[in-house]
Amino acid sequence: MATDKKLALIVSDSIKAQEGAETLRKAHDWVKPADADVFVVLGGDGFLLHVLHEMLDKGRLRPCYGVNLGTVGFLMNRNGTKRTIAERIGRAREIAVHPLEMRATTQDGQEFSYYAINEVSLLRETRQTAKLEVKINGKVRMAELAGDGVLVSTPAGSTAYNLSANGPILPLGCNMLALTPISPFRPRRWKGAILPDSAEVEFRVREPAKRPVSAVADQKEVRDVRDVRICTARDRELTLLFDPGASLEERIFAEQFQA
């Protein structure tokens, strides 16, 4: 069934996405983004994240239907079917995603707040190992974590950087977060933790002058941080649209059973 929703086409600057958009532009009566009910996003995962972050910054959220004209396309739908774009969106399944909110304070007292759809990561800035104190809900759970850094991942981001750091894959709707160390030195065998998404996670940088640390919320970085607080942004809900049988939830399941 075709949708009667007004659609806006948002296209990455990549050559592949621009070429793919030519046919699609002629196949539907598109509206301007300001007038749209749904965004159709052509590109890769990185471009879709860029679009989602722009919506978070501007405060007006719309469902997004991604079409993969990038590389991995984990958050996207495949390009090219016999159905029209309106029919595909009319049949699409909605997946709600809550981002993380990172509140970082630098060594000189500046405060920054950014959202992360995939993960918030703390990373050493120099050759010196980072040393971090880890608090959960105000209680110190680890007095010192030494290594390249640490990250907190949402279920949607658990197959991205988190998986590369040997973190767990989290199913959508599990209401959990992954706390994953990055190349830990001490405690050497600590594999991380799975936390309820109601938890507030706080990191304090130890020996910051000698061991500076940056904090990164998806694509936004704050350098020379003193402490970082992370919690789920309950007041922000993003909606991703997926073709039947190809939802993000299904892809997360499939990722866990790859040979």
Beta bridge partners of 194: 178
- Angstrom distance (rounded) from CA 152 to CA 104: 14
50 assigned binding-site residue: yes
35 is in an annotated binding site: no
The single residue of 45, 224, 235, 243 carrying the catalytic annotation is 45
**Whole-angstrom distance, CA of residue 254 vs CA of residue 111:** 40
Establish whether 119 is an annotated binding residue: yes
Q: Residue 102, SS3?
A: strand
49 is in an annotated binding site: no
Please report, for residues 80, 81, 124, 228, the alpha-carbon distance to residue 84 in angstroms, rounded to integers and kept in the order given: 9, 8, 48, 45
User: 98 a known binding residue?
Assistant: no
Residue 59 assigned ligand-binding role: no
Asked whether residue 218 is marked as a ligand-binding residue, the answer is no
Residue listed under structure tokens 């594999």: 191
- Asked if residue 148 belongs to a known ligand binding site, the reply is yes
Q: Is 162 marked as binding a ligand? A: yes
CA–CA distance, 185 with 111 (Å, rounded to integer)? 29
Check if 45 is active-site. yes
Q: Are 79 and 68 in contact (CB under 8 A)?
A: yes
- Whole-number Å distance between alpha carbons of 131 and 201: 16
Catalytic residues: 45
Binding-site residue positions for NAD(+): 45-46, 50, 118-119, 148, 156, 159-164
Binding-site residue positions: 45-46, 50, 118-119, 148, 156, 159-164
